[in-house]
Amino acid sequence: MDILFYHPTFDTQYWIERLQQALPDARIRAWAPGDNRPADYALVWQPPVEMLSGRPGLKAVFVLGAGVDAILSELEAHPEMLPVNVPLFRLEDTGMGRQMQEYAVSQVLHWFRRFDDYQTQKQQGLWQPLPAYSHEEFTIGILGAGVLGGQVAASLTAWGFPVRCWSRSRKQYPDVVSFAGNDELPVFLKGTRVLINLLPNTPQTVGIINHALLAQLPQGAYVLNLARGAHLEEDSLLAALDSGQLKGAMLDVFSREPLPGESPLWAHPRVAITPHVAAVTLPTQAIAWIADTISKLEKGENPGGQVDRLRGY
């Protein structure tokens, strides 16, 4: 069994050594331009077109992350890159769920305990206890109810917050109110105090967090974007913050990355920024999952994590 590996920033040698330990019978090599030798599986992130093109023996491709929008866009532009009958897999969790939980819970608690307001008072030299928020009035709404959305929802219900989720098709999670489809989106938004975005990046979700959507949130709501920058219209966000419709925003992803220095988001006093670090690929968990999935494929089984190219996730 031959496996190709390509990632533009990962420590390739480290990954190959760990993969070899997990799959001792496999022949694993880093791809380099001109390498047209046969391969059964490819592990990739933003691969060049020539890496995957012309490989009739390829059994599956693994994307080394949870998002597949980049490779799907590449496949749309270059359909010859990968035949439609070759399965494409993404990392559904492999430690990302825990990281998303940590990020979301820490930020929700930051807003709930009014640490943003106390930081403003500190800058003014003002010592003034503020009225506490109640859990009942601090409803968390999660856009996207997949694997990561479900785990984030569970972590927030454990803190006593009312939690609701919205997705294309209805999902059911314990103690979470479920909404689905465009018709139910306004009702979902109306009661959401903190909007957390964990949607997949598809043509249908690009620009979904816009002026019209933000206007349906309660005044003084918060936005936490953990999915993709393409979901959020940044001008609409800034306008909602300046009008008081939104009280604050925490952004981990952006339409352009790195975020350009001239972006007004940097200077806005009620926008917090992290550099796309909410959930990163953890080698140990990812390699164990990939090895297990390849073993199942070799046995003729149908493991989870396969991408539906039409749906985009």
- Grouped pLDDT means (10 residues each) for the chain, 313 residues: 97 98 98 97 97 96 93 95 96 92 98 98 98 98 96 98 97 97 98 97 96 98 98 98 98 98 98 97 96 97 94 89
pTM for the full model? 0.93
- Say which CATH class 2-94+281-299 falls into: alpha beta
Orientation angle between helical segments 12-22 and 283-298, nearest 10 degrees? 50
Per-residue model confidence (pLDDT) at position 288: 97
Per-residue model confidence (pLDDT) at position 274: 98
Instruction: Provide the 10 A C-beta neighbour count for residue 305.
Output: 19
Q: Is 276 designated active site?
A: yes
Per-residue model confidence (pLDDT) at position 182: 96
Q: Say which of 98, 114, 270, 276 is annotated catalytic.
A: 276
Q: Where in the chain is the domain with CATH 3.40.50.720?
A: 2-94+281-299, 96-273
Instruction: Provide the 10 A C-beta neighbour count for residue 4.
Output: 24
Which residues, 6+ apart, have CB-to-CB distance to 73 below 8 Å?
Answer: none
Amino acid (1-letter code) at residue 38: P
Per-residue model confidence (pLDDT) at position 92: 82
Q: Say which of 7, 18, 228, 231 is annotated catalytic.
A: 228
Give me the architecture of the 96-273 domain, per CATH. 3-Layer(aba) Sandwich (3.40)
